[in-house]
Amino acid sequence: MRPRERYTLAGPDGFGDADLVALVLGTGLPGRPALSVARDLLDGAGGLAALAGQPVAALARVAGVGPARAVRIHAALSLGRRALEACDPPSDTVLSDQDAVRWFAPRLAALPHEELHGLLLDRRQGVRGYRVLTRGNDGHTIVDPRQVLREALLAGAAGVIVAHNHPSGDPTPSAADVEVTARLHEAASLVGVDLVDHIVIAGPAWRSFRGEGLLPKARAAPVLATRWKGAG
């Protein structure tokens, strides 16, 4: 039975990642079936999660893909991500690190480069805004406390949660992550903004600075973090 017929009758159960990518591709090349091209795509990206973060141009460079099929794959993965977000939309009130991860993970988990994002909160922990703060490379991104706090102050936010991703797949905060978080925490306290948490996203895994006791102690009792339910 051909894959399309089997999928029609039985659905996706029994299909591996490469089988599903091959179905999206439709056809391969002479001597290179779609399944072989699909395996090359997954192997080259480093797995399905990483494939979802590849730009169209990178997909198109894989032999047997080309521009048209690259757009088809990218669109299919983007549609799946949007469907997942629609099924479990993030809450407008962020009360815990899990709530924050629901905002950050869909935007950060599959990126092939590091980015720093910020979630701006009011005094009741309601979301006032979401910002993409910086974009870096696959090894680091710049964290400028002035930029983070400028966005918070412009939005009239009482607190901010920042998050960045580790494309390596390891969510363990680096020494540089800890150092820059301490600087951001100090700067935020000086202007009356709570740094509620810093979250590291790495594919499906994540770590919360506050949940693991990695945030410095505030000079005075913070407005928001006293109600923060950390479970990282």
* pLDDT lower than 70: segments of the chain: 84-89, 137-141, 218-227, 231-232
Residue reference for tokens 């795509």? 41
Q: Which residue ranges form the domains of the chain, and what is each CATH number?
A: 3-86 (1.10.150), 91-227 (3.40.140.10)
DSSP 98: H
Cα 186 from Cα 209, distance rounded (Å): 15
DSSP-based helix, strand, coil % in the chain, nearest 5: 45, 20, 40
User: How high is the pLDDT of residue 137?
Assistant: 67
User: How high is the pLDDT of residue 2?
Assistant: 84
Amino acid letter at 138?
Answer: D
State which H helix or E strand residue 17 sits in.
Answer: helix 17-25
DSSP string for residues in 38-94: HHHHHHHHTSHHHHTT--HHHHHTSTTTHHHHHHHHHHHHHHHHHHHHHHSPPPSB-
Q: Are 127 and 121 a contacting pair, CB within 8 Å?
A: yes
pTM: 0.67
User: How high is the pLDDT of residue 232?
Assistant: 46
State both tokens at 40. Answer: 């090359």
User: How high is the pLDDT of residue 82?
Assistant: 74
pLDDT in tens, 13-29: 888 989 999 999 988 88
